[in-house]
Structure 1
Amino acid sequence: MYVDDPLAGYLHDHWAGSSFAVELLEKVAAEFTATPSGIVARELLEQVQSDREVLHDLIQKVGKANPDLYDALGWIAERVSRFKLKHNDPSGIGALEAFETIGLGILGKRALWEALKARQTTDIRLGGLDYDALISRADDQFQKANRYRLKLVPSALAMQKSGS
Structure 2
Amino acid sequence: MNDDLLHAYLQHHWAGSSAGAAMFARVGRSHSDPDVAARVRRLSKEINEDRESLRQIILATGATPSLIATATGRALEFAGRFKPNGRVVRRSPLSDLLEVEALRDAVFGKRGGWQLLREVCGDDVRLDRQQLDELIRRADDQLARLEDLHLRVARAVVGA
1:78 paired to 2:75 = yes
Matched to 1:75, the amino acid is T
* More divergent stretch after superposition (17-26 vs 73-82): 73-82
1:40 paired to 2:36 = no
1:116-127 aligned within 5 A: 116-127=117-128
1:5-154 aligned within 5 A: 5-32=4-31, 35-64=34-63, 70-82=67-79, 83=81, 87-88=90-91, 92-127=93-128, 129-154=130-155
Aligned length: 152
Cα root mean square deviation, aligned: 2.6
Q: Aligned-pair distance for 1:4? A: 6.1
TM-score (norm 1): 0.79
In the alignment, the residues of structure 2 paired with residue 77 and residue 119 of structure 1 have an alpha-carbon distance, to the nearest angstrom, of 28
Q: Aligned-pair distance for 1:131? A: 2.1
Which segments of 5 or more consecutive residues in structure 2 lack a partner in the other structure?
none
* Structure whose CA Rg is larger: 1
- Which ranges of 4 or more aligned residues in structure 1 deviate by more than 3 Å? 69-73, 84-89
Matched to 1:143, the amino acid is A
Contact 1:33 1:39 in 2 (8 A): no
Which segments of 5 or more consecutive residues in structure 1 lack a partner in the other structure?
159-164
